[in-house]
Chains A and B, each alone.
Chain A
């Protein structure tokens, strides 16, 4: 029992105690950003690694969460009756009705999770019920991500267009520029990730997790065991969408911006890539992959921006051909090699 929880406890202590003490605020902020991505990755690990649903549109859910939060922050700063800065610039005179309810933080945070869940339930129901799956599903989610970006860019007055929304100053009365606020945010992100990780792991080891694997490996056979695979898949897909939405909502105050470039086809794929690099069949692999790839991107694009794309592409080709189980798979193999 203790042994099973030891790795998690160690990581949790490092993340919650050591990191805030040792890292300078800038680095801690970056880590918080990676952890936001790790939350999305956890959802991908669940949907794809366990459930076999390759979702290339998690950016959409991440974006819904992010924009919900950003709308609240903007309205909060504009004050009652005021307009967000970008609306003033693009000549909007009256607050759009869609925006009004987001003045309430409860509504905004609620929608950040509920919005993605509802969209995923709708899409999942329509698609899985018709037994559209595998590559077809992947293509559809990718098309959704592409459509979403074009929509966000085009609706300038509602969404801030290409630039998205930025310049956030305070969250729940706290100054966002303050180091202590950022540290607090980091702790929140890390805790949310930890809790979601434990919950997801519990789910994966439960009977539901076994059912999910069965659906992944033999959806048609599962029907003859009396289960409705469409329901199982929809629920799982919705859970992963909710996680992405929550991650988006956390991302906005941490990083200070949300824009279409952060949630289109490429960022969505990048996260899937990160999960594959970490190891898609293990939840820890998904989280690890997101942090490692986030770190690598920052480190390399600081030094040689163009090289990063080559490196990312090459890394990915290598992982897919040589280590399809990712870092977790390689570590597992090394460990087995040592013990035998």
Chain B
């Protein structure tokens, strides 16, 4: 029973990390039809930022900025020419991801590095270790921030308009280019924050992003495109499913089980938990 309960914070904190990563993906995908494989490398950039700075709290805003600016550059330099061609962006950004990983290898060396956890995160309450709690707190803060941005600010409402109907939004005078840039910046920044969070539960290496990007995309698939609610639910569910599948079977079968569950879920909800309705015939 204790072992069973111990999986809970593990699953929740993985879900929290997945959520921070998936928020950016679900909005860039939903809003611009872009699949950004280099998103994983923004996580890695965030993690290395924490490594370079040595401190957890100061690293959070810096990692957000670093990853955000990387995302902004990628969006302006390449991705914006590929809007609405998700498959092409997938391959393009994979090339970017390869280059960034190799760059990290050249800058920081191929072996993993460890970021020392701050002493105030040692210990925990009951079954909840402080470091995992902290990660969950980060995700909650991230979701609240995104929610406030989307529903309470003018720019955020414009973002939602673009997600729902880009052409209509553009013709009603919204500068879609600016909205896109901002979405990319925030989404990539959150991935950087996720990277900082990951230093609390494991080592940092050039391929860090590749371990999470696939699962984060599954969150997008299961949650529904551009859906905040969906992303939250799917991320938590996937995090828990991952950790309990490992617990009940063994680590090697866990991913297969997760995959099977997702396919089964798509039989009931083929477009994810929440769907934006559209009348477009493709």
Q: CB within 8 Å of B: which residues of A? A: 54, 123, 126-127, 130-132, 134-136, 138-140, 142-144, 146-148, 150-151, 153-155, 218-221, 265, 269, 272-273, 276, 306, 309-310, 312-317, 320-321, 324
Contact = CB atoms under 8 A, between A and B. Distances in A.
B251 interface: yes
A136 B272 CA distance: 10
Given A123-B263, A272-B91, A306 B220 contact: no
Interface of B: 29, 35, 78, 81-82, 86-88, 90-92, 94-99, 101-102, 105-106, 210, 214-215, 217-218, 220-221, 250-256, 258-259, 262-263, 266-267, 270, 281-282
A170 B221 CA distance: 46
A320 B88 contact: yes
A155 B91 contact: no
A131 B271 CA distance: 9
Contact of A310 (B97, B102, B262): B102
Contacts of A155: 252
A310 B214 CA distance: 22
A321 B81 contact: yes
A142 B217 contact: yes
The winner among B96, B210, B252, B258 for most chain A CB atoms within 10 A is B252
16 contacts: A127-B266, A130-B266, A131-B270, A136-B221, A138-B87, A139-B218, A147-B258, A150-B251, A151-B255, A154-B253, A218-B281, A221-B281, A309-B99, A312-B95, A316-B91, A320-B95
Contact of B99 (A142, A148, A310): A310
Contacts of A265: 210, 214
A143 B262 contact: yes
B266 A132 contact: yes
Nearest to B86: A135
A150 B99 contact: no
A211 B221 CA distance: 28
Nearest to B256: A147
A129 to B, nearest CB: 8
Given A127-B263, A130-B270, A312-B95, A54 B255 contact: no
B102 A306 contact: yes
A18 to B, nearest CB: 34
Nearest to A156: B252
B270 A309 contact: no
Contacts of B82: 320
The A contact surface, by secondary structure, is helix
A5 B255 CA distance: 47
A138 B35 contact: yes
Contacts of B105: 306
Which 6 residue pairs of A and B lie closest in terms of their CB atoms, listed nearest first?
A: A154-B252, A316-B95, A313-B98, A147-B255, A313-B99, A130-B270
Contacts of A150: 251-252, 254-256
Contacts of A320: 82, 88, 91-92, 95
A273 B91 contact: yes
Contacts of B87: 54, 134-135, 138
Nearest to B92: A320
A82 to B, nearest CB: 26
A147 B259 contact: yes
A312 B102 CA distance: 11
Contacts of B92: 316-317, 320-321
Given A132-B270, A317-B96, A143 B259 contact: yes
Contact of A269 (B94, B102, B254): B94
Contacts of B217: 139, 142-143
A324 B102 contact: no
Contacts of A144: 259
A77 to B, nearest CB: 26
Contacts of A312: 95, 98
Given A265-B210, A313-B95, A313-B96, A138 B90 contact: yes
A309 B87 CA distance: 21
B76 to A, nearest CB: 14
Nearest to A320: B92
Nearest to A307: B102
Nearest to A152: B252
A274 B230 CA distance: 35
A54 B90 contact: yes
A159 to B, nearest CB: 10
Nearest to B249: A154
Contacts of B102: 306, 309-310, 313
Contacts of B29: 135
A29 B240 CA distance: 47
